[in-house]
Amino acid sequence: MLKTTGFHSVGLCLKVFAFLALAFLPPAQAATGQCAKSDPTDRPRIGLVLGGGGARGYAHIGVLRKLEELRIPFDYIAGTSMGSIVGGFLATGMQSEEMEQVIRKADWDDLFSDKTAREHLPFRRKNDDDMGLYGPKLGIGKDSSLLPKGVVSGQKIVFMFESVTSQRANTTDFDLLPLPFRAIATDIVSGDMVVIDSGELSMAMRASMAVPAVFDPVRRDGALLVDGGLVRNLPVDVARDMGADVVIAVDVGTKLAGKEEITNALAIVYQMSGLLTVHNTDIQIASLADNDVLITPDIGDKIGSADFDKLDEAIPLGYAAADAMQAQLQKYAVSESDYRAWRQNIEACVDGPPRVNFVKLDNQSRFSDEVILNLITIKPGKTLDLQQLDRNLRQIYGLGFIRQARYNIIEEDGKQGIEITVLQDERGKKFIETGLDISFGGRGTDFNIRAGFLNTGLDERGAEFRGMVQFGDSPGIFADYYKPLDDALKYSFRPSIAYFSRPLLIFDDLGDALAEIELDEVGGSLVFGREFGRYAKLYAGFTRYTGNMHITIGDPVIEPFSFDGAEWFTELKYDRLDNRYLPSRGLLSRLKYTRSAENLGADLSFDQLEFSVFSSHTFGLHNLILGGQYNTSLDENIPIYGWFTGGGFLNMSGYEANSLIGPHFGQVMAGYRYQVAKSGFLPGYVGMTLEYGRAAQNRKDIFNDGLINGSFYLGYRSPLGPVYLGIGWSEQRDAIYFLRVGSIFGPRSLGRR
């Protein structure tokens, strides 16, 4: 049920900017169990009020710790924003120590990102990495919005809430929780205060902390709900309405800036939102009676609303503030036996995970129900397995262009079950994509910019069309159509066409450049695929192409010529990397056999075999990478357009990109990285590699007469794609300096290799 109250009109002008004052928050989930409540007769009924303030709300845990020490019971909880998170946990019977452990385990960088872990993506989405399209996907068309309503949908946060609270409470009536609870939100349309007293506990908490423009609003009973701090950051009156005789209120609100701190437009907006929050908080504080207790941790400038790494600083501040109010609090303390009885009553109301008697699907995506149901492995008749459900929801979300995949605990005919809700990305079906590759180093400079068009949802299994054009030193055009063939999305086919042009550098044995060759090629392919889970895929296909090669710079070491090729191939790929370019864990392996056949239209018949492996292992801030590749031609007299190339970062880093060329190429590589920063403008990693290998005319020379080389570099995961700055060295050549923005492998889909 929703209860609404009028809101000062000034709030409507400022709600969009509230995220600057209130930011991110911690975890919880859906409640369930049912129990009887008994009114205290020998003591006043106490309402605990927990205010909002983002990470400053960690101080609530310190306050709770002191209340536990003093043996102070309470009967009602009302919370806003971060206060609703702590309050929601508390309402399920959780104590301060448990709450602290939950928050410590939270990965805030991951929780405040909607990006699905790469290991949960199907291969179609994993292969997007090779396209080099790093910018945001912008929705286009009459039925789409350019960008989502919020930067974060809250997919991971909601599940975090659910995974915690569903272990302890399974009811949709907040009066039947171990401790009655209210969460405060704001109706973004009317500006009214919304008191949430029923429904899914996880979504109530999520609505209360839905900072406008940062998080998507929560839809509930026809209303759009956002952060409750805009209207009631300290809901004293709500606790009284619940029946509280005495209120213990904890205010962790944002400190207003001084005149000297207001130096730009952003600071002014922050101050305006802070003024709004402080104003409604002051009104609630003024309503406190003599027998009420106000606890105000001395947070000041020590902790900001988004400082989620300062748990250890915040908890003592909350404890100290409550300790300073011990004299006022002590009069509400009870005996040890009474306190134990109060805790026992709460624990008696704690419920475990529900038994799933049925599974329902509320599918609002463009995928068919059959596709979604194939990814749900939860079976009726068993206790809810949250880890299994987590995998299911992540895989549904990983299909792509899903705004949210979540579950609700529902009751029908006296039986509990779960309803899985899948929401479509509001940006529509059609997207514009962009990417940039910049490479400076050695004797060459390479600059490419690309733009793509992606049309999704062409059928209920997720068929797609993608077109892409690349401008710069290596121009190209690419288009493909991806078509799943079954509801389980195991089988697919993909026709594609491409044109590309790329330079190849020819060096002598001393490392001096002799010439630059331009390779132009146009062709098409048809590929069939069979996916095995989320980690392996088998490909089989046919490629037909034609092209020409000619000298653009230098001595005519090779006469210009044209060629025709026709190949069939099979490839097995295993991919469990968590990131394609700066992975912290996982394995990527590839085995491919190619047959060029004259009877299919090729100038020459020949066979080739390619094998590569790359792994990453992380130990704290330290990362070890190991890799190798072995590409060989099984016949003699391989035409130059069929040769393998090497050179460039992580591919014989001491040599320019594509400067090593021959019918055989191999390399082994070991590297070390140290993580120096997670975010900001500093590099994320500092690293080094040691590499050995070469391109050769004879297969045995790859490792018998290989070249020792390596690199030292800085690496950073930027919004434009990975950035690398470093130096490559070799035993034969002068060191080369390189700056690389974008894929280190290049957009492979534009070419056959």
Give the DSSP H or E segment for 330.
helix 326-330
**Is the distance from CB of 480 to CB of 512 less than 8 angstroms?**
no
Dihedral class, residue 286 (left if φ above 0, else alpha if ψ from -120 to 50, else beta): alpha
Distance CA 92, CA 180 (A): 9
Contacts of 279 (CB under 8 A, 6+ apart): 8
Tokens of 437: 């590759």
Lowest mean pLDDT among 259-268, 532-541, 590-599: 259-268
Task: Give me the phi and psi of 118, to 5 degrees please.
Answer: -60, -30
Report the pLDDT value the prediction gives residue 599, as an integer from 0 to 100.
Answer: 92
Distance CA 262, CA 257 (A): 7
In this prediction, residues 646-667 reach a mean pLDDT of 88
Report the pLDDT value the prediction gives residue 7, as an integer from 0 to 100.
Answer: 36
Question: Is residue 750 predicted with pLDDT exceeding 80?
Answer: no
In this prediction, residues 535-556 reach a mean pLDDT of 86
CA distances to 158, 390, 576, 752 from 117, rounded to whole Å, are 16, 12, 10, 28
| 250 or 753: which leads in pLDDT | 250
| Average pLDDT across the chain, whole number | 83
Report the pLDDT value the prediction gives residue 265, as an integer from 0 to 100.
Answer: 58
Report the pLDDT value the prediction gives residue 12, as an integer from 0 to 100.
Answer: 31
Question: Is residue 31 predicted with pLDDT exceeding 60?
Answer: no
DSSP structural state of residue 547? E
Q: How confident is the model at residue 35 (pLDDT cuts 50, 70, 90)?
A: low
Residue 578 forms beta bridges with which residues?
none
Contacts of 500 (CB under 8 A, 6+ apart): 470, 474, 475, 476, 477, 478, 520, 521, 750, 751
DSSP structural state of residue 297? -
Report the pLDDT value the prediction gives residue 151, as an integer from 0 to 100.
Answer: 57
Question: Is residue 173 predicted with pLDDT exceeding 70?
Answer: yes
Report the pLDDT value the prediction gives residue 555, as an integer from 0 to 100.
Answer: 64
Question: Is residue 23 predicted with pLDDT exceeding 60?
Answer: no
**Is the distance from CB of 746 to CB of 132 less than 8 angstroms?**
yes
Report the pLDDT value the prediction gives residue 114, as an integer from 0 to 100.
Answer: 67
| 331 or 636: which leads in pLDDT | 331
Distance CA 582, CA 303 (A): 31
Nearest to 659 by CA among 726, 730, 724: 730
Task: Give me the phi and psi of 89, to 5 degrees please.
Answer: -60, -45
**Chain position carrying tokens 């805009």:** 230
For the stretch 62-77, pLDDT in tens is 999 999 999 999 999 9
In this prediction, residues 372-380 reach a mean pLDDT of 92
**What pairing do the DSSP bridges indicate for beta strands 444-455 and 430-441?**
antiparallel
For the stretch 302-319, pLDDT in tens is 888 778 888 899 999 999
DSSP structural state of residue 70? H
DSSP structural state of residue 115? P
Lowest mean pLDDT among 157-161, 283-287, 642-646: 157-161
**What pairing do the DSSP bridges indicate for beta strands 293-295 and 246-250?**
parallel
Q: 536 by DSSP, 3-state: which?
A: strand
Report the pLDDT value the prediction gives residue 34, as an integer from 0 to 100.
Answer: 47
Q: What number of other Cβ atoms are within 10 A of residue 479's Cβ?
A: 18
| 93 or 507: which leads in pLDDT | 93
Distance CA 551, CA 722 (A): 32
Question: Interior CA angle at 257 toward 256 and 263, to 5°?
Answer: 150
Report the pLDDT value the prediction gives residue 423, as an integer from 0 to 100.
Answer: 87
Distance CA 466, CA 454 (A): 4
Q: 322 by DSSP, 3-state: which?
A: helix
Helix axes 201-208, 82-91, angle to 10 degrees: 160
- pTM value? 0.76
Looking at residue 426, its amino acid is: E
Question: Is residue 250 predicted with pLDDT exceeding 60?
Answer: yes
Report the pLDDT value the prediction gives residue 147, as an integer from 0 to 100.
Answer: 47
Q: What number of other Cβ atoms are within 10 A of residue 501's Cβ?
A: 17
Tokens of 518: 């331009």
In this prediction, residues 33-40 reach a mean pLDDT of 59
Q: 203 by DSSP, 3-state: which?
A: helix
Report the pLDDT value the prediction gives residue 211, as an integer from 0 to 100.
Answer: 77
Question: Is residue 149 predicted with pLDDT exceeding 60?
Answer: no
Nearest to 526 by CA among 495, 559, 561: 495
Give the DSSP H or E segment for 595.
strand 586-596
| 160 or 485: which leads in pLDDT | 485
User: What percent of the chain is modeled with pLDDT above 90?
Assistant: 46
Question: Is residue 432 predicted with pLDDT exceeding 70?
Answer: yes
Report the pLDDT value the prediction gives residue 512, as an integer from 0 to 100.
Answer: 61
In this prediction, residues 467-483 reach a mean pLDDT of 92
Report the pLDDT value the prediction gives residue 751, as an integer from 0 to 100.
Answer: 42
Report the pLDDT value the prediction gives residue 171, as an integer from 0 to 100.
Answer: 80
* 142-146, 589-593, 704-708, range with greatest mean pLDDT: 589-593
Report the pLDDT value the prediction gives residue 18, as an integer from 0 to 100.
Answer: 34
Report the sign of the C-alpha dihedral through residues 127, 129, 130, 136, in that order.
Answer: positive
Question: Is residue 658 predicted with pLDDT exceeding 80?
Answer: no
Distance CA 363, CA 404 (A): 11
Contacts of 340 (CB under 8 A, 6+ apart): none
Distance CA 123, CA 140 (A): 25
Nearest to 425 by CA among 155, 162, 210, 161: 155
| 451 or 144: which leads in pLDDT | 451
DSSP structural state of residue 294? E
**Is the distance from CB of 80 to CB of 228 less than 8 angstroms?**
yes
Q: What are the DSSP calls for 21-43, one per residue?
A: TS------------------SSS
Dihedral class, residue 12 (left if φ above 0, else alpha if ψ from -120 to 50, else beta): alpha
Looking at residue 731, its amino acid is: E
Q: 319 by DSSP, 3-state: which?
A: helix
CA distances to 611, 663, 693 from 630, rounded to whole Å, are 5, 11, 9
Q: 383 by DSSP, 3-state: which?
A: strand
Report the pLDDT value the prediction gives residue 161, as an integer from 0 to 100.
Answer: 85
Report the pLDDT value the prediction gives residue 6, as an integer from 0 to 100.
Answer: 43
Report the pLDDT value the prediction gives residue 17, as an integer from 0 to 100.
Answer: 29
The span from the first CA to the last CA of the chain, in angstroms, equals 59
